[in-house]
Amino acid sequence: MKEKFVLITGASGGIGYPTALLFAAKGYHVIAHCHKHPDRLLQLKEELSNSYGAPCHILSADLSCRQDVQSLFQKVYEICPALDVLVNNTGISYVGLFTDMASEDWETVLHTNLSSVFYCCQEALPPMIRQKRGKIINISSIWGSTGASCEVAYSAAKSGVNGLTRALAKELAPSNIQVNALAFGAIDTSMNHHLSEEERMQLQEDIPMGRFGTPEEAALAIYTLAEAPSYLTGQIIGVDGGFC
């Protein structure tokens, strides 16, 4: 059976970490990336080795920088000839009034959340196109469709991810490469820890399921999409407890 390779960016985070664990449990060779939390990556590699005896490589790069992404993929292609799955999961948020936002913060949020997807897709695609096979899964947000007050840059970036996903899927369909996005709602990760208890309760009341999603549920959605039929492409799939 052919070994399958997945690159998960932002693998040290609340969604990326359980996603790496799940792919390893399903037999994938995991290439895990992060930028600022190497200790978590080392913990992940140890857990994958101890729990599953699974092969895992850990890599660090600033994905908002094209040169760093190019260097990252040079290392990826020393590990495998081509990726079977690319999970573009790296992301940061900025919470604050639009009128108070500095241009540097705007650029950081857009480059980290949107440009990183562009850079990674460009580096991942040539081998995928040659082998006529591959899955790209972009992690988006419901705020990319509905917008979130005091999160203008994040909402704009995720809206861009949605547009990139739909357009790239059309371009790559003749090459049998599927591009989809998962638009997550409120997932119980550190990205939502800025909420006060009152704000958290108000948000939960607006979610038909009455609760935040778990990181494990997010990971399962990502893995399920990676194993979905090839005819499923160009979709922005909401995983939000019925919120949208």
| Structural contact between residues 19 and 89, judged by C-beta atoms closer than 8 angstroms | yes
How confident is the model at residue 243, as a pLDDT?
85
What's the burial of 197, exposed, middle or buried (CB within 10 Å: 0-12/13-18/19+)? exposed
Task: Say how many C-beta atoms besides its own lie within 10 A of residue 13's C-beta.
Answer: 24
Distances (CA, A) of 42 to 11, 12, 39, 53, 241: 11, 9, 5, 15, 32
CA distance 90 to 33: 9
> Which tens digit of pLDDT belongs to each residue from 22-65?
999 999 999 999 998 888 989 999 998 888 887 899 999 999 99
Q: What is the pTM of this model?
A: 0.95
Per-chain mean pLDDT for the chain? 93
How confident is the model at residue 232, as a pLDDT?
98
Extended strands (E) in the chain? 5-8, 29-34, 56-60, 85-88, 134-141, 177-184, 236-239
* Range of weakest confidence among 6-10, 116-120, 186-190: 186-190
How confident is the model at residue 143, as a pLDDT?
95
Among 160, 32, 46, 68, smallest CA distance to 106 is for 160
More confident residue, 191 or 43: 43
Confidence of residue 203 (pLDDT cuts 50, 70, 90): confident
* Range of weakest confidence among 67-71, 91-95, 146-150, 192-196: 192-196
How confident is the model at residue 1, as a pLDDT?
67
How confident is the model at residue 205, as a pLDDT?
83
Residue 79 has pLDDT above 80, yes or no: yes
Question: For the domain with range 5-239, which CATH number is right: 3.40.50.720, 3.40.1390.10, 3.40.630.30, 3.90.700.10?
Answer: 3.40.50.720
How confident is the model at residue 43, as a pLDDT?
92
CA distance 178 to 225: 10
Residue 5 has pLDDT above 70, yes or no: yes
Residue positions annotated with a catalytic role: 154
